[in-house]
Amino acid sequence: MGYEASDADARRWRIEALRRYAGESVEDVITRRFESASVRAPDIPITADQHRWMERVAATVRGVHRDFLAVADAPSNGEYSPRMLMFDESASVALQVGPDAVEVIPLPDYDGDARRGFALMWRLCQALARDAECIIVDPTDLTVVEMQLDVDRAREEYGWL
């Protein structure tokens, strides 16, 4: 799980769900996330709005797969945690939730059915796009992933296992 099916070298894939603020263009979302000048300094506290969004992400994820356990870091500066990890030992992916992005992390030791594993990842990304106002991006080449595809078509299109 987590490797591209067509690569002989089997490169690892990653997906990120980036928060899209009202009125923000796709280009602005990508710039905010990936330009080095816009990387969040660790000493900036999490705002109440960012915390509410992180909680909405957790609720969205649990709406797709209720067995995800959420563990938040202790707040380091302010009253809210800057990071929440969501995982389930039987799932194909784990999620790292931050104030403006969710990293969807394929689990290298997932030994379940590849189609079911992909379907879970895809349904999570579709829910994040729909219910948490996210843009789904492959950060390797900054490609916006088209979430309207059904699971089977998406698996053919993107070739992830």
Is the pLDDT reported for residue 1 higher than 60?
Answer: no
Q: How far apart are CA 154 and CA 145, in angstroms?
A: 9
> Which pLDDT band holds residue 20 (cuts at 50, 70, 90)?
very high
Q: Measured on CA atoms in the order 93, 100, 46, 79, is the torsion positive or negative?
A: negative
Residues 135 and 26: beta-carbon distance below 8 Å: yes
**Average model confidence (pLDDT) for the chain?**
86
Q: What's the pLDDT at 59?
A: 97
Q: How far apart are CA 19 and CA 37, in angstroms?
A: 18
Is the pLDDT reported for residue 8 higher than 70?
Answer: no
Q: What's the pLDDT at 11?
A: 42
> H-type helices in 10-159, by residue range?
26-34, 48-64, 114-131, 151-158
Mean of pLDDT values over 142-152: 90
Greater confidence, 4 or 30?
A: 30
> Where do the domains of the chain lie?
15-158
- The mean-pLDDT minimum among 10-24, 68-82, 113-127 falls in 10-24
Is the pLDDT reported for residue 43 higher than 90?
Answer: no
> Which pLDDT band holds residue 33 (cuts at 50, 70, 90)?
confident
Is the pLDDT reported for residue 46 higher than 80?
Answer: yes
- CB contact set of 29 (below 8 Å; sequence gap of 6+): 18, 19, 20, 21, 135
- Measure the CA angle with vertex 61, ends 27 and 21; round to 5°: 30
- CB contact set of 47 (below 8 Å; sequence gap of 6+): 80, 99
How many helical (H) and strand (E) elements, i.e. helices and strands, does the chain have?
4, 7
> Which pLDDT band holds residue 36 (cuts at 50, 70, 90)?
low
Is the pLDDT reported for residue 68 higher than 70?
Answer: yes
